[in-house]
Structure 1
Amino acid sequence: MSLIDRRMVITGAGRDFGRALAHHFAGLGAEVFLAARTLEAAERTRAEILDRGHEKVHAFACDLTDPAAIRAFAKAVAQCTDRVDVLVINGARWLEGPDLLSASDEDVADTLASGGTGTILVTKNLLPLLLASDRPDVVTMVSICGVPGAHHPRAHEAYYAAKHAQRGFTEALSHRLRPQGVRVISLFPPDFDSSRDPLSTEWSATPRGAHDPLAAQSVIDCISFAIQQPRDCYINAFHFEAMSTSATATSTSG
């Protein structure tokens, strides 16, 4: 697989799953535009990719809770490229708690802003660049918490609300943009294991058997598969079966 001619924007690229996405797609030859809440976090991932010999990588600050920061980010990307082929929205905040009263008002607002408003505004502000591509894809890491009736043992109610906002937005966006050739792809994974460093030997040795927890690599493979399909193949969602017993997982999607 080669993505040598693709230009990809990845939010939440400073750590964990977003960092793994950045390394994966840069390794396939894509030109990657990395966003994180702080420029320092994005620059760290950029430096790692540069050290691996890939030069087409850019770093930006983008606080998904701040509309002005999102606009500034989109403007900075537009100064570097005349198109975006793939937008991966991954940076929404995780919030856990045993009940509604367990989180502060500020945490609730931040969670909703990053997952709901942030997803909408990043897509909106980068849409002109996506429409300039002849193969535009919008990939959103939602969560099993965005599936009606699904239950997560640790997620706070505000996190559910943010993920349902993402699902509603991407469903509406998919219908709106398909006539313009934009594929909108949403992923709804349960907790998955992103504990292994993508630069370590452990990464390729991650257990991926039938009884192992869902691995970050498998989620990445789904994204890679979807964006590589011919344009007549419109995969709008990936739903994953959650393990029936509790398994160790170090990340929730999005």
Structure 2
Amino acid sequence: MNHALITGAGRDTGRLLALAFAASGAHVIATARTTSAAEETVALVRAAGGSAEAVALDLASPESIAALRLDRLDVLVNSGARYLEGDAAPADVADMIAGAATGTVLLTEHLLPLLRASPGGDIVNLISAAGEPGQHRSTAHPAFYAAKHAQAGYAEILSARLRPEGIRVISLFPPDFVQTGPRESGAELTAQSVVDCVLFAVGQPRDCFIRSFHFEQL
């Protein structure tokens, strides 16, 4: 049974990812800033017959990341990131960049020894079209763009350096999407479609390195 850690699993897309990985047979480590949010997701996973555990993890806190202890990990899904738009206080900007950019790097580096020990390690990054060069369609705060470009740059070099070790680094660049809605041509991208892309990528044979998903925008 693969062990998959999902950040930001306390709600929305992160919760959908946790449920999807558990349904595929993985043991899910569901992380969120609060234990209660992570436990809510774990309860849903277990109610559906899956295996999961809850872990409180604050990506904006290097101390919280350093305190994380696991025995095994096969898949790391970096999906936890605070969204920011409109006017934002300096503290909100700092918190968002710390979690999405610095937190992603520190957590990934912290867990790399376990991924290297796995027979099939995968790192999945839910970045955003805001991390693509020249993209400006999102209404997100400019600092969100900055954080997502940092994630994208880190993922790019990590993919090149880890491929010889057999670790796949898979990045998704979806536009702003909705949690629920019709999954049909002409409609906005849904969170479930993003989740399905993640499961497709990690489900491929180990000779298949899907580096990134880029989405057409309306």
TM range (shorter): over 0.9
**2 CA distance for matches of 1:212 and 1:18?**
22
Compute the TM-score of the two structures, normalised by the length of structure 2.
0.97
Query: How far is 1:119 from its partner?
Result: 0.4
Matched, 1:42 2:38: yes
Query: How far is 1:183 from its partner?
Result: 0.4
Partner of 1:18: 14
Alignment partner of 1:164 out of 142, 149, 154: 149
Query: How far is 1:72 from its partner?
Result: 1.2
In terms of mean alpha carbon deviation, does 8-17 or 211-220 score higher? 211-220
Partner of 1:60: 55
Q: How high is the sequence identity, in percent, across the aligned residues?
A: 54
Query: How far is 1:60 from its partner?
Result: 0.3
Partner of 1:218: 193
Structure 2 stretches of 5 or more lacking a match?
none
After the TM superposition, which residues 81-230 of structure 1 pair with which residues of structure 2 at under 5 Å, given as runs?
A: 81=71, 83-97=72-86, 102-195=87-180, 206-230=181-205
Partner of 1:201: none
**1 CA distance for matches of 2:137 and 2:8?**
22
- Secondary structure at 1:95's aligned position in 2? coil
- Secondary structure at 2:119's aligned position in 1? coil
Query: How far is 1:153 from its partner?
Result: 4.2
Matched, 1:235 2:210: yes
Equivalent residue letter for 1:225: F
Partner of 1:246: none
- Secondary structure at 1:32's aligned position in 2? strand
Conserved 8 A contact 2:128-2:174: yes
Partner of 1:198: none
**2 CA distance for matches of 1:221 and 1:23?**
12
- Which is greater in Rg? 1
- Secondary structure at 2:67's aligned position in 1? helix
